[in-house]
Amino acid sequence: MSAADLWGLFSHFLMLSLLAVGGAITTAPDMHRFLVEEHRWLTDVQFNASIAIAQAAPGPNVLFVAVLGWNAGGAWGAFAAMTGILLPSTVVSLWATRWAAQRRDSRSVRAFTSGMAPITLGLIVATGWLLTAPTHGHVGGLVLVAATVVLTLKTKLSPMWLVAGGAAVGSLAAGTGWV
């Protein structure tokens, strides 16, 4: 990756950081567009595997950005992507938290907090849709996704058990055309 490519990666993730309401994972669709479709630094399989590996590993949810950066441009790619995604959101979060704490009873702060919930939910749904793309058109895969959503909403079962179950079903069904 050239210095110009690293700067482009950094600046794109810098911009995404300010859009990452609900976490960096909510911007995965645009990361996919940028890394896979626009620049072709990653394939669809590499993109999805990068997210899956990082999400399965212990640690902060944002680690998938480092894996994407690493796969796109090695150590410098990981550094550029992580610095870009963390820098603005950290600065804005520190400032906004202090500002809102001083004004937590104001109508505007309460309205802002209430208004961000549906935006965050929509971004998470868009990310889920992108990550389930391989199951689109496969009845078994769609049933598995629907069952996971229902179990998540209706039970207190840890999502990690659902991820493990999905991995087990995927492993068993690999190559059968079922999922």
Structural domain span for residue 102: 3-114
pLDDT, tens digit, for every residue of 94-112?
A: 998 899 889 988 999 889 8
Query: pLDDT value at position 128?
Result: 74
Angstrom distance (rounded) from CA 48 to CA 118:
25
Would the pTM of this model clear 0.75, i.e. be above it?
no
In a domain, 147, yes or no: yes
Distance from the Cα of residue 10 to its chain's centroid: 17
pLDDT, tens digit, for every residue of 12-63?
A: 999 999 888 778 888 999 999 999 999 999 999 999 999 888 888 887 888 9
Q: Which of 114, 141, 162 is the C-terminal boundary of a domain? A: 114
Same domain, 14 and 100: yes
Same domain, 66 and 24: yes
pLDDT at 179 over 80: no
Same domain, 59 and 144: no
Q: Which of 82, 114, 146 is the C-terminal boundary of a domain? A: 114
The number of domains in the chain is 2
Backbone torsion region of residue 175, taken as left when φ is above 0, otherwise alpha when ψ lies between -120 and 50, otherwise beta: left
